[in-house]
Each structure stands twice: as C-alpha cells, then as structure tokens.
C-alpha cells in the first residue's frame, strides 16, 4: 500500500507507508507536532517547525495534556489552515486529534503512529479523546485525520509487551472479517514474533483495510462500526478497575475477547469450537487470560455498566457466533459474574 484514500463521514483520510526520513515533511506554513518523550527520540536530527513533548503513557491521556497542546497552538499562532501532527502511540494520536478537532472548531490533523496498535487500529477512523474520571475514552469527538503516515521500521523500537499489545488489535480484525489474516497469524507466528518487516507490512495493511471497511460505512459508530469493539467492553472495564496499571490495552482486549466468546457460549449462541480456535491462536502469543485475583468481579461489572456503548440503561456487548458473524446483545449480570 503506497497510498490509499478512504472516505470517513464527509472527510478523506489518506494512508501512506513512508520511510522514516519522509515522515515529517509537510507543505504547511505552521505545523505543531506533538510527541511524547519516547517518540521524540526517534527523530534526533529532524526538528519540526514547532513542537510539544508530553509525558508518555495512559496516565497522561487527560484534559491537562490537551490544554497543553492547545496552549502551545495559541502561542505559535496556529490557525484553522495550519496543521496538528500527532507522533506516537494511541495516547498521543488520540489527544492530538482531539485537540485539533476542538481548536477553532476544527483544524487539519496528520497522525504518525509509532506503535503497532496505533498503526493497525487507533490512528484510522476518526475517534479522538481522553480518559475522564477513571473511565477510558469518556470524552472525545469523531474527527478523521486528513492523513495517516505509517513507517514499519518504527516497530523495531517497541518493547515486546507493547508490540504484543498492538498485535491484539490485528487478531481482533482477523476475527471480524479477514480469514487470510487469521491464517497468517496462525501459520507465521515465528516471523511475526521476530518482527519480519514484509510480514508486518502485510498484517498492518490488511488490518487497516478491515478497519476502513467498518468506518467508511459507519463513521460515528451508530451501527456496524460497533463490531470493532469486540473485546473492548470487557477490556476497558478491566483497564478502569486496575487504574490503567498492570495491563496494556491489547492485553485487556485479548482478555475481553475471550470473555466475550465465553459469554456467547454460555448463552448458547457462540460455536464452542470457535472459542477453542481463538484460544489456540492467542495462546501462541502467550497472552495472559486470567482475571487478577486482587480484582473483584463486582468491580468489573460496575465498570462495565459505565461503558459508553449503552442503549438506554443496558450495555450491549459485542459477541460472535463464529468468525465474521458478529452481533450486539445485552447480557444478564448473573451471566457476567459467571464469565468473569
């Protein structure tokens, strides 16, 4: 994929695979680039026009960081025809896109994901936001970036745990609608764990195409796009009750996917052999599927009830009958307690 353009809502998002040397080249008079302290190190000899460097990690995904980005934009005279650039993982990309979406009621944004999770999932689709009162992505907007720039070389810098966190979203996309993606994950796991660039490029491209298939149809998550939340309702609850410590986002999502499939099996809807097939796959990558003993099941259920994906007073969970056969359903508390 040299360049591909997707229509999300009424906006175009171009995705380009570029070498590191070309990532920060822009045809804008004023550019504000937002890094965190980790991602700034990737560009020691490349100084953007203006920059802000944030602390890393989920703990910084809050109002204070967005305010810092906007304050910097005001200081340097960013206008609506200027450019916000987010360079980092899902946290930096989400916050920068959020800041851009509310600055002067909307400015241009380019996202440069530096993690596998952000490349394969978070940077495309227009979801922006921050965590609020301990709940994941509680405040945000739908505002697609004008461009997403991907550099596979950056994946060599990731710690193993962060790399596997991103792989979780790729697994999810395979479960949703790409059988060949699942085959690659099953049959080339040694090359994937070794970070073979050719295999990774294929995985990221396939994952982007799956994500785009959903978001082009449903830009603001009013229908089929909700299927992309497979595993996330459970996973976000786990992240919330653990104060975003102890679990990467991808670890929580894989835990949540298995909980969702087990829920479907107990409801008599999910094919038990599908659950076993998915378990076989995720165990190849050594994900931890155990619920921590120091976290009470009731606390997780309470967090589930505050999930954004409510209809009326009921949370609707993304469940599956089989690969590619996905639907939403409310789930009784008693069944949730059994699953968790």
pLDDT of 244: 77
pLDDT of 208 over the 80 cut: yes
Contact 319, 226 (CB under 8 A): no
**Which CATH code fits 3-158?**
3.40.50.1970
**What pLDDT, on a 0 to 100 scale, did the predictor assign at position 207?**
98
Q: What is the pLDDT of residue 80?
A: 87
Tell whether the model's pLDDT for residue 135 goes beyond 90. Answer: no
**46 pLDDT higher than 80:** no
CA distance 85 to 109: 6
Query: In 3-state terms, what secondary structure has residue 35?
Result: strand
Average pLDDT over residues 321-331: 96
pLDDT of residue 32: 97
pLDDT score of 312: 59
**Nearest-angstrom CA–CA distance, 304 and 90:** 22
Class of domain 160-340: mainly alpha
Q: What is the pLDDT of residues 262-285, one digit of tens each?
A: 999 999 999 999 999 999 999 999
Burial of 236 (0-12, 13-18, 19+ CB in 10 A): buried
Domain ranges of the chain: 3-158, 160-340
8 A C-beta contact, residue 149 and residue 110: yes
Q: What is the mean pLDDT of residues 230-239?
A: 95
Does residue 309 register a pLDDT over 70?
Answer: no
Give the C-alpha distances (Å, rounded to integers) separating 209 from 5, 206, 218, 220. 11, 5, 14, 18
Please state which of the ranges 38-47, 64-73, 107-116, 194-203 shows the lowest mean pLDDT. 38-47
| pLDDT in the model for residue 265 | 98
**Above 70 in pLDDT, residue 12?**
yes
Structure tokens at 183: 């085959």
Taking CA 184 as the corner, what is the angle to CA 178 and CA 190, rounded to the nearest 5 degrees? Answer: 150
pLDDT at position 308, please?
Answer: 61
pTM: predicted TM-score of the whole model, two decimal places? 0.92
SS3 for 269?
Answer: coil
* CA gap 197, 209 in Å, rounded: 18
């Amino acid at each position: 994929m040299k360049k591909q353009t997707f229509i999300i809502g009424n906006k175009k998002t171009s995705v380009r695979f570029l070498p590191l040397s070309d990532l920060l080249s822009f045809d804008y008079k004023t550019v504000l680039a937002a890094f965190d302290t980790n991602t700034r190190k990737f560009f020691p000899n490349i100084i953007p026009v203006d920059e802000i460097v944030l602390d890393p990690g989920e703990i910084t995904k809050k109002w204070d960081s967005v305010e810092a980005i906007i304050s910097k934009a005001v200081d340097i005279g960013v206008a609506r025809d200027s450019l916000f650039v987010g360079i980092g993982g899902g946290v930096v990309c989400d916050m920068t896109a959020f800041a851009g979406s509310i600055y002067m009621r909307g400015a241009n944004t380019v996202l440069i994901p530096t993690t596998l999770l952000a490349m394969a999932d978070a940077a495309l689709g227009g979801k922006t936001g921050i965590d609020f009162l301990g709940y994941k992505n509680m405040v945000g907007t739908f505002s697609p970036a004008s461009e997403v720039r991907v550099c596979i070389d950056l994946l060599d810098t990731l710690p193993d745990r962060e790399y596997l966190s991103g792989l979780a979203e790729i697994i999810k996309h395979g479960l949703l609608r790409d059988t060949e993606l699942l085959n690659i994950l099953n049959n080339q796991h040694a090359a994937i764990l070794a970070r073979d660039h050719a295999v990774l490029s294929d995985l990221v491209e396939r994952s982007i195409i799956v994500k785009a298939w959903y978001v082009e149809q449903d830009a603001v998550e009013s229908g089929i796009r909700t299927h992309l939340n497979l595993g996330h309702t459970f996973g976000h609850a786990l992240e919330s009750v653990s104060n975003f410590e102890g679990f990467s986002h991808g670890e929580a999502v894989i835990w949540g996917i298995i909980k969702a499939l087990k829920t479907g099996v107990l409801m008599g809807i999910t094919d038990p052999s599908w659950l076993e097939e998915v378990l076989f796959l995720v165990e190849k990558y050594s994900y931890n599927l155990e619920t921590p003993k120091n976290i009470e099941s009731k606390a997780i259920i309470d967090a589930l009830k505050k999930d954004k994906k409510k209809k009326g007073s009921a949370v609707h969970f993304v469940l599956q009958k089989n690969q590619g056969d996905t639907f939403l359903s409310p789930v009784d508390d008693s069944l949730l307690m059994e699953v968790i």
